[in-house]
Copies of this chain bind each other. A is one copy, B any other.
Amino acid sequence: MSIRSTRVPLPSISPLPRIPLSHVPSFYSCSTAIDLATASHPAVTASLPLIPLSLPHLCKVGAPPKSFVARDLETNPSRTSCSMMAALLRNKARMANLSWLQPLLLIPRKRPIQSQSNLWPEFKGEEYMTKKIQQINKALDEAVPLQHPTMLHQAMRYTLLAGGKRLLPILCIASCELVGGNQSSVMPIACALEMIKTEVLVLDDLPCMDNDDLRRGKPTNHKVFGEATSILASHALLCHAIEYVATRTKNVSPDRLIQAIAEICSAFGSKGVMAGQFADLNSEGKEVSLSEVEFIHKNKTGKILEASVVCGVLVGSGNEDQIQILRKYAKCVGLAFQVWDDILDITGSTERLGKTAGKDLLCDKATYPKLMGMDESKKFARQLVAEAKEEISCFDSTRASPLHHLADFTVSRNM
């Protein structure tokens, strides 16, 4: 679906190609828009050859564009770029005596009203996820090469490359791109998040912990390599992750990189995942309160989701406000994710989950369904997702659509 525009007929110009909205580089939440597609039509650019090149921000997607829509936005923190562009065009038009361009530039237009559930129909959530997962899997494969000692590295790669939702790296990349960063700069951190997440899962499956036989649809790491090698590989993967971030991240200021490293280590440490894991293990077979369950989930899942989005914003040169907004988004998504995990543990099948279903019940673990019932848990999870989306409503919806989709995904997945 594309935005309809009111066109001023141009003299001697053939019909303009329409571009779908999903291809329009739109960085900002918009309330009104000015359709400038015509301005870069061959007949116009012949007179104004500098225009497309003078709009680096608006032309990021497939530069130089054949045509584009520029938006003038009320909530746009960088509206200067847009206004400056309009001023430039106006000036060029005046100098080139293209008086017909003047009214074209000033046509205000309302954003079409769309339902919340169908905000950006051009964004294909599943395609997006599939593409990102492929890119992340390729990057992970390259990031942990098979080298000497071979079996140790096999163990490091085994669970890491066994598939998985790749939620943390996708969140990290989407947050980075949301604030204007690019995927190549953030990929080492995205990979590191998945490496550390994986090694926590490997430890989690050990006999002295959750004692699980199945992970990501395959026998658990220690079942294949033995406990000792699994523990060494797990430790090595954590070290490798941080080293990888420190040595492979390009085009990011060292200051921001150090902040990102601190964020990751804090999230996976004794005030994050490890605190959650510890409380989780100690809750087995005990009466626990809702606040204790919340403590477990916030720490086991929430903090690493937070770290993922914060690292994305840091690498994307985002500001402190954006970090705070995405933190809140991640808190909601993280909790929703864990509530849904609890639900799936009861409703899902082992085959589909890729891990043993019903483990929580078996271990008498503290879960949401146990405490508030199945229906209330589902309602709670969906409410959290709505809150998460509300938190990021200040961002341009096109650009934020991956994060909208990721929030929805947490409570629609069946694995």
Contacts and interface: CB of A to CB of B under 8 A. Distances in A.
- Counting from the closest, the 3 A-B pairs by CB-CB distance are A239-B269, A254-B254, A236-B270
Contacts of A255: 254
Interface string A215-227: 0000000000011
Contact of A209 (B228, B265, B268, B278): B228
Tell me the dominant secondary structure on chain A's binding face.
helix
Contact of A148 (B147, B152, B200, B275): B275
Given A149-B278, A149-B279, A242 B242 contact: yes
Interface in A134-164: 147-149, 151-153, 156
A153 to B, nearest CB: 6
A261 B241 CA distance: 11
Nearest to A261: B246
Given A208-B227, A275-B152, A281-B228, A266 B243 contact: yes
A232 B209 CA distance: 9
Interface string A231-272: 111111111101100110000011101110110011011111
B203 A231 contact: yes
Given A235-B268, A258-B258, 19 more contacts: A149-B270, A149-B275, A149-B279, A153-B270, A156-B270, A203-B232, A208-B231, A209-B228, A229-B278, A236-B269, A236-B270, A236-B274, A239-B269, A239-B272, A240-B265, A242-B261, A243-B269, A246-B261, A254-B255
30 contacts: A147-B271, A149-B270, A151-B278, A156-B270, A200-B235, A203-B231, A203-B235, A206-B228, A208-B231, A231-B231, A232-B274, A233-B270, A235-B238, A236-B274, A237-B270, A238-B238, A238-B239, A239-B268, A239-B269, A239-B270, A240-B265, A240-B270, A243-B262, A246-B258, A246-B262, A247-B262, A253-B254, A254-B254, A254-B258, A258-B261
A67 interface: no
A239 B278 CA distance: 15
Contacts of A147: 271
The interface size bin for chain A is 35 or more
A209 B231 contact: yes
Contacts of A259: 246
A265 B246 contact: yes
A277 interface: yes
Most buried by B among A243, A268, A272: A243
A376 to B, nearest CB: 27
A243 B147 CA distance: 28
Nearest to A206: B231
A133 B152 CA distance: 35
Most buried by B among A209, A238, A257, A270: A270
Interface in A174-205: 200, 203
Most buried by B among A237, A266, A269, A277: A269
A239 B152 contact: no
Contact of A258 (B151, B257, B266, B275): B257
Given A236-B274, A258-B254, A274-B235, A243 B265 contact: yes
Nearest to A199: B235
A308 to B, nearest CB: 15
Contacts of A238: 235, 238-239
Contacts of A274: 152, 232-233, 235-236, 239
A278 B231 contact: no
A314 B112 CA distance: 57
A233 to B, nearest CB: 8
Contacts of A266: 239, 243
Contacts of A235: 200, 203, 234-235, 238, 268, 274
